[in-house]
């Protein structure tokens, strides 16, 4: 039996490239994708601070914000993603609903 040393795997740096989300309207369904790159498959997206506007949710599998906003206002929140290489990236965002 031979004992070997695993070669380290190098992944591109994980990043969330979305810097802003469009203004939305109450009662209208939306899907606002969050753009990213890195090791695949992506493990999980999480809302780590703040809250999305009422009626919207963050898809843990792909970082998509979707739903139908039910109230006006501006929501500030921070999302985090972890990739297959156990790298993390975070981004503070805000979403205005009119």
* pTM for this model (two decimals): 0.78
Q: What is the pLDDT of residues 70-90, one digit of tens each?
A: 999 999 999 998 888 888 889
| pLDDT in the model for residue 12 | 75
Q: What is the pLDDT of residues 20-75, one digit of tens each?
A: 888 888 777 665 555 555 666 667 889 999 999 999 999 888 888 888 889 999 99
CA–CA separation, 12 and 1 (whole Å): 34
Q: Which helix (H) or strand (E) holds 76?
A: strand 73-82
More confident residue, 5 or 86: 86
Q: Which domains does the chain have, with CATH numbers?
A: 15-97 (2.60.40.10)
For β-strands 73-82 and 65-67, DSSP reports them as unpaired
CA–CA separation, 56 and 93 (whole Å): 14
Q: In the predicted model, what is the mean pLDDT of residues 2-28?
A: 74
Distances (CA, A) of 2 to 5, 8, 31, 66: 10, 18, 52, 51
């Amino acid at each position: 039996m031979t004992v070997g040393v695993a070669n380290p795997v190098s992944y591109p740096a994980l990043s969330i490239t979305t810097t802003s989300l469009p203004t939305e309207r109450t009662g209208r369904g939306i899907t606002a994708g969050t753009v990213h790159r890195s090791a695949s498959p992506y493990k999980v997206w999480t809302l780590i601070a703040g809250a999305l506007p009422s009626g919207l949710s963050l898809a843990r599998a792909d970082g998509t914000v979707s739903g139908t906003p039910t109230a006006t206002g501006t929501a500030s929140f921070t999302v985090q993603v972890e990739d297959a290489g156990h790298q993390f990236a975070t981004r503070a965002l805000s979403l205005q609903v009119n």
